[in-house]
Amino acid sequence: MRVLDECRESLRWFAVRVKSNQENVIASSLSSTGYEILLPKYSPAAQRKGQTFRPLFPGYVFCRFDINRRLPILMLPAVVYIVGIGKTPAPIEEDEISSLRVAARSGLPMTPIEYLPGEKVRIEAGPLSGVTGIVAGRRNDRIVVSIALLQRSIAVDLPPEWLSSLRSVA
């Protein structure tokens, strides 16, 4: 059991930058070779015929792997690089991936938006219960789930009674 825990500990989430419109191909390829992937999608309001879902983060696939064994990923034809600081790949925080995963599975309408600073809150009710995010305005209490490394976010409209400030919780 301890070996399994140590192995799991070496697996971190990374953002893999892929060529334009190749997110599904790379996600499928990585998944079929045993990698855990996350490719969250949304349904645009104005759908074109044949396009029902688009990636929330165009050009990126999130993948969990051991950074010391990244060569097979980098060898895939449509992979450009692994996102990092300089030439050093940087992992994405587990809580960011967890919040993103819960938001993607919630069934609530989402839209990609620019990265926003704001008041940190925890969602206390509804399908996103337990997720932390940022409130991007009090008019319609739009919650923002951000991936700091990518400087990108997604937004979900929520009722204000579902939210509690992390300042009051901490």
Claim to verify: residue 76 and residue 110 sit in the same structural domain: no
CB 23 within 8 A of CB 58: yes
CB 94 within 8 A of CB 38: no
Domain of residue 8, CATH code: 3.30.70.940
**Of 89, 106, 122, which residue sits at a domain end?**
89
Considering only CA atoms, which of 133, 158, 135 is closest in space to residue 145?
Answer: 133
pLDDT at 141: 54
How many independent structural domains does the chain possess? 2
pLDDT of the chain, 170 residues: tens digit per residue? 443 344 556 799 999 999 999 999 999 999 999 999 999 988 776 555 555 788 888 999 999 999 999 999 999 999 999 999 888 899 998 888 888 888 888 877 777 777 666 677 778 888 878 777 777 655 555 666 666 656 677 777 777 777 777 554 43
Claim to verify: residue 134 and residue 156 sit in the same structural domain: yes
pLDDT at 95: 84
- HSE-up of residue 103 (Cα within 13 Å, Cβ side): 33
Q: Which residue range is the domain that position 57 belongs to?
A: 2-89
**Of 65, 89, 113, which residue sits at a domain end?**
89
Claim to verify: residue 133 and residue 67 sit in the same structural domain: no
Claim to verify: residue 126 and residue 66 sit in the same structural domain: no
Domain of residue 143, CATH code: 2.30.30
**Of 89, 118, 135, which residue sits at a domain end?**
89
pLDDT at 169: 40
